[in-house]
Structure 1
Amino acid sequence: MKFTLIQQNDTHGCLELHNELYWSTEGPVLKKAGGLARISRYVKTLKKEQENVLFFDGGDLFHGTLPLVASKGEAILPLLEKMDIDGFVPGNWDYAYGKKQLRNLTDRLPFPALSCNVKDEDTKANFFIPYVIKELNGVKVGVVGLTYPYVDITMPPDFSKGLSFSTGVEEMRQCVAELKEKADVIVLLSHMGLPLDAQLVSLVSGIDIVLSGHSHDRVTKPIVRNGTCIVQAGSSSSFIGHLDVEVQNGKITDIQYRLVDIDEQFGEDEEVKELVEEILSAYTTERETVAGGTKTVLHRMTLEEAPMDKLITDAYLAAFESDLAFSHGWRYGPPMDAGPLTLYDLHTIIPTNPELFTLELTGEELWDALENNLETVHSADPFEQKGGYVLRSSGLKMTYKPYNPKGHRIQSLTIVGEDWQPAKRYRVVGGGSQTFKKHEDRKQYRNIHAIDVIGSFLQEKGPYEMKKGADVVTV
């Protein structure tokens, strides 16, 4: 008997065809890809052509572009009703609107929200269904959800208020033990990130397949750990993962996998396409208003610094009399080609649109914050890798060794062209509560938001061009 698993993950509100970045021998190359109408057509066609197809979403479904953020996730609900999804696991950004709104969103879905590692602090009960069992021509497939375990640590406080999270190791052991009595195949639908998933399956035996999410990895060849097949399908609705699974006598005998590049050659589901157009029509003004321009391709596809975030921090630094500017190392946001940037584009670059703050830190405090950030990115223990990419910055030059022990990675640090001094006080500008969370009580919020600052910067300085030469490098 054969069944097929299709996964999408980390779509982040990329509803339509958009630029996607691919690496070539010449460097980064952009081409058009993605769109939920194309994914929907792919899945519906497959489900018509063959039996036993399951389609799952790996999280970050309700946040990432202006229509979703402005509606607190509700704009996408009519579209999701048409996509034949069989289940999803919430991602860290799905908690952006708080516990009550996430419950409202998931209660209105025609498919279950799955997670065994988040509890309601009021009732102490699971906030979501831990798992479901799908029966396919006599083969039972158990699907367990694991949400991002560090929402309460890395995200703004409102995301996790009223909820508690765990790494899910013990919960997974319990779920696997239960499913061994009920299912032939056990699938983990995860928004933990690839490093954590690989570590988890080394600690928990009995998981057959992991549909991984969160880290935006384009896995082209399955990773096999402890007998478990792990895959992940990029991000931004630009890719899907396609697994054909052979089962005999209740055991998997073969898995064939491919990462499908959803480019513009794919046909669209007309019903979903119309819904996307309807959603976007409410933002015609933002989509037609040119806010500025860029001479540099803007993207977030590099670990240490990236042009999209350099635009943000350069704009922050220009807006306030400061030594340094910082922005969180986010992964989401499709790339943007050189040329005009609309107001809608700015909302896609930084959909959180945080209020800016200024903050004074001693050199020692700054060093500690940078070392802590490097630990969350490069920790030898995957369960300590809580960050996205390296903290984005302007005004700073840093070299570091990623393989060094915790607290000893930075090799050199200069600020505004001068050597770092531990006792000196440095003026910092940043945005929102996600950056420098430890010093929240000392921040001075300035009653101006990121998109206004970036827009003004583009108008005053002209088309953005990122300076050549990296400021943060490994050595």
Structure 2
Amino acid sequence: MTRREFMQVLAAGVAAGLAMDSKQVLAGNVPANFYELPKFGNVCLMHFTDCHAQLLPIYFREPDVNIGIGSAAGRPPHLVGENFLKAFGIKPGTIEAHAFTYLDFVAAARTYGKVGGFAHLATLVKNIRAQRPGALLMDSGDTWQGSATALWTKGQDMVDAQKLLGVNVMAPHWEFTLGAERVKEIVEKDFAGSVDFLAQNVKTADFGDQVFKPYVIKHVNGVPVAIIGQAFPYTPIANPRHFVPDWTFGIQEESLQKYVDEVRAKGAQVVAVLSHNGMDVDLKMASRVTGIDVIFGGHTHDAVPQAIPVKNAKGTTLVTNAGSNGKFLGVMDLDVRNGKIQGYKYRLLPVFSNLIEPDRAMADYIRKVRAPYEAKLNEKLAVTEDLLYRRGNFNGTFDQLIVDALLEVKGADIAFSPGFRWGTTLLPGDTITMERLMDQTSLTYPATTLNELTGAQIKDIMEDVCDNLFNPDPYYQQGGDMVRVGGLQYTVNPNAKMGSRISNMMLKGKPLDPNKKYLVAGWASVQEGVTGTPIWDVVAEYLRSVKVIKKVKLNRPTIVGVGKNPGLA
């Protein structure tokens, strides 16, 4: 590329609000047309999901363990590393390889910088809308939870950010952990007339009435587009039931089919489901419910660069999933003519903050909403010499830090930490601030506990969680990853039957005695009335005492029975 050609590209990017880092472009690390989307069709649907309240750019490492079993083995989203790149035709060592895999993460992160940030996402959304008038922006949820400011403002910082971003439609999950009254307050007051909050599968426990709108029909360039909302089906199981005591959830295929048929009867030429099921559940649902053109999914944080076609009794449904933490924006262009979709193009755009000029209005809003909390957010707790991350079926280094803290501070034999998929990444040399700790722990039921459990009870708990992850029927999977374990080593066979996946449980070199009682520390109990020191206080105490985190010993189980599974690095 000549200097003149480069300046032309740069000028075009600036005009569009996309500030390409000149050093990166000239070095050949980033294609000059990285954010160029040739126009196609007449209906554009944009989608993001699972941002977990991250308003600012962050680092986020993709998993190196994402095992699929049964029919899910070896197919998206259960691919990692080189297997992922090969499946999707992505060249190793590129900016796309960094965006979609864990490979060479630290070096690549230092090269390409942070991802996400609502000010950068806003610029990208505005640029696409300028090219595609009428484009809709959809949010699959997990938006009001995951950061300190979201916790402290009861989600208000994210609600106002969504409105400023121009979100048109939303489906929920972690939003419900703010409690039914708070959710209804936001939907009825803040979102009135601006954001459609959809959940066809949330109904009253007494008479089965709809709690929220099941769908909305919007016209895009004269084309009627129906969007049906699907909340996380297992909310009362995965999260505290007492937060939503009067509502029922579930997948509810029959109800979904009814609404698909209803919107078709009303003239919808495009039918989309905005889902928080998790990708495996969406893939199965797409094979059983007919008449859906595309599912925009969330929950499992899977960044899948292509739409996956799924055949059913009456046609084909495209299934997508758009990652997490504001790291990606999905763009689906549809060519709708003669009442039908004639073709489509889909791209999942990584949001690199170094390559996109922040939107001024959104940046100003973020500064304003964070200002009262900056001193608390920026408290320095420790420094890490290791890469700290959360994501993967069994453990991450930040998860390990949490269980290490529980063992030390609570004086436990064994520690459990939930297999949450939300949480940002820190590079070696980074300061662990209170904000970065809260990224891993911000939820409305943070109490830590210390209980006596027998070895048999411990195994039962682990088997139950393992079945939620590896049940061969996606409809019995509840998302999330395996409980993180401190102090205890074990072997796992994901392909074994329920109750037989966990074996060789060892504590300090000795087999776990099924009849002996052990002190087990944990946090985030879904039971009502649980009290205890919040997890962030426990981990902060630990960090202040050790001051430097180094040589974290990752306690992962021995994995057997999966062969050369492409979801295992």
Q: What is the SS of the residue equivalent to 1:370?
A: helix
Aligned AA (1:346): L
Query: When the two structures are superposed, what TM-score results if normalisation uses the length of structure 1?
Result: 0.94
Give, in angstroms, the shift of residue 432 of structure 1: 2.8
C-alpha offsets along residues 246-285 of structure 1, whole Å, 9 cap, x if unaligned?
1121111211111101002112221111101111112111
1:260 aligns with 2:349: yes
Matching of residue 61 in structure 1 with residue 151 in structure 2: no
* Distance (Å, rounded) in 2 between the aligned partners of 1:27 and 1:341: 19
Residue number in structure 2 paired with 1:426: 518
The yes-or-no answer on 1:159 pairing with 2:243 is: yes
TM-score under structure 2 normalisation?
0.79
On the 8 A contact 1:222/1:231 being kept in 2, the answer is yes
CA displacement at 1:69 relative to structure 2:
0.6
Cα distance in 2 between the residues matched to 1:231 and 1:343: 34
Equivalent runs, 1:41-56 vs 2, <5 Å? 41-56=123-138
Q: Which residue of 2 aligns with 1:10?
A: 50
Structure 2 residue 453 is the aligned partner of structure 1 residue 361: yes
Give the Cα separation in 2 of the matches to 1:54 and 1:89. 14
Tell me, in whole angstroms, the C-alpha distance in 1 between the residues paired with 2:431 and 2:552.
19
* More off after superposition, 172-181 vs 285-294: 285-294
CA, structure 1 residues 173+101, in 2 after alignment: closer, same or farther (shift >3 Å)? same
% identity of equivalent residues: 28
* Distance in 1, Cα, partners of 2:502 & 2:160: 49
Contact 1:73 1:105 in 2 (8 A): no
Q: Which amino acid aligns with 1:356?
A: T
Query: Aligned pair 1:460/2:545, yes or no?
Result: yes
Query: In the alignment, what sits opposite 2:152?
Result: 70
The answer on whether the counterparts of 1:146 and 1:168 sit within 8 Å (CA) in structure 2 is no
Question: CA separation of 1:26/1:336 partners in 2, compared to 1, >3 Å: closer, same or farther?
Answer: closer
For 2:296, the equivalent position in structure 1 comes to 211
- The RMSD of aligned alpha carbons is 1.8
- Which deviates further from its counterpart, 155-164 or 401-410? 155-164
Which residues of structure 2 form unaligned runs of 5+?
1-40, 62-97, 561-569
Q: Distance in 1 between matches of 2:286 and 2:234?
A: 18
Counterparts of 1:300 and 1:240, CA distance in 2: 21
Distance between the aligned counterparts of 2:537 and 2:60, measured in 1? 26
Indicate the residue corresponding to 2:204 in structure 1. Answer: 120
Aligned to 1:26: 104
The question of whether the paired residues in 1 share the 8 Å contact of 2:60 and 2:389 is answered with no
CA distance in structure 2 between the aligned counterparts of 1:73 and 1:307, rounded to whole angstroms:
28
Deviation, 1:417, is 2.3
- Read off the aligned partner of 1:342 and give its amino acid letter: T
Which residue is equivalent to 2:476?
384
2:181 aligned to which of 100, 105, 116: 100
Contact map agreement 1:87 1:114 (CA 8 A) in 2? yes
Deviations 1:382-410 (A, max 9, x none): 01111411101110111111111111112
The within-5 A match list for 1:196-275 is 196-226=281-311, 227-264=316-353, 265-275=355-365
Structure 1 residue 121: Cα displacement: 3.3
Count of residues paired in the alignment: 467
Secondary structure in structure 2 of the residue aligned to 1:18: coil
3-state DSSP of counterpart to 1:128: coil
| Moved >6 Å (runs of 4+) | none
- C-alpha distance in 2, partners of 1:99/1:359? 30
Structure 2 residue identity aligned to 1:382: P
**8 A Cα contact 2:523 2:535, kept in partner:** yes
Q: How does 1:440-455 map to 2 (within 5 A)?
A: 445=531, 447-455=532-540
Indicate which of 263, 279, 293 corresponds to 2:369: 279
Give 1:358 deviation, angstroms: 0.8
SS in 2 for 1:412: strand
Contact 2:118 2:326 in 1 (8 A): yes
The match for 2:164 among 82, 89, 110 is 82
Q: Which runs of 5 or more structure 1 residues have no equivalent in the other structure?
A: none
The 5-angstrom pairing of residues 138-153 of structure 1 reads 138-153=222-237
Pairing 1:313–2:391 present: no
Task: Give 1:89's aligned amino acid.
Answer: A
Letter in 1 for 2:321: Q
Question: Does 1:189 pair with 2:274?
Answer: yes
Q: In the alignment, which residue of structure 2 is the partner of 1:324?
A: 414
Considering Cα pairs closer than 8 Å and 6+ residues apart, tell me whether 1 or 2 has the greater RCO. 2
Q: Take 1:178 and 1:204, find their aligned partners in 2: how far apart are those partners?
A: 13
Question: How far 1:77 sits from its partner (Å)?
Answer: 2.9
Matched, 1:38 2:132: no
What SS does structure 2 have at the residue aligned with 1:94? helix
Q: Which moved more, 1:120-129 or 1:390-399?
A: 120-129
Equivalent position amino acid for 2:182 in 1:
Q
Find the residue that maps to 1:274 and give its secondary structure.
helix
**Which amino acid letter does the alignment assign opposite residue 404 of structure 2?**
D
Q: Which residue among 136, 158, 172 is the counterpart of 2:256?
A: 172
Superimposed CA distance per residue, residues 36-71 of structure 1 (whole angstroms, 9 cap, x where no aligned partner):
111122122222222231110110111110111111
More moved, 95-104 vs 75-84:
75-84
8 Å Cα contact 2:395/2:554 also seen in 1: no
Q: Distance in 2 between the 1:326 and 1:95 partners? A: 24
Q: 2:442 aligns with which of 345, 348, 351?
A: 351
Partners of 1:25 and 1:342 lie apart in 2 by 26
For 1:465 and 1:113, how far apart are their aligned partners in 2? 44
Classify the secondary structure of the residue corresponding to 1:19.
Answer: coil
**Counterpart in the other structure of 1:395:** 487
SS across alignment from 1:81: helix
Q: Which amino acid aligns with 1:288?
A: N
Q: Which amino acid aligns with 2:186?
A: L
Partner SS, residue 20 of structure 1:
coil
CA distance, structure 2, for counterparts of residue 179 and residue 469 of structure 1: 50
**Structure 2 counterpart SS, 1:171:** helix
CA contact (8 A) 1:116 1:144 kept: yes
Shift of 1:363: 1.1
CA 25–121 in structure 1, closer or farther in 2 if over 3 Å, else same: closer
Aligned residue number for residue 499 of structure 2: 407
**Pairwise CA distance, 1:461:** 2.1
Secondary structure class of the residue paired with 1:33: coil
How many angstroms apart in 2 are the aligned matches of 1:368 and 1:77?
Answer: 39
Q: Write the distance in 2 (CA, Å) between the matches of 1:278 and 1:292.
A: 27
CA displacement, residues 229-256 of structure 1 (integer Å, 9 cap, x when unaligned): 1111110111111111111211112111
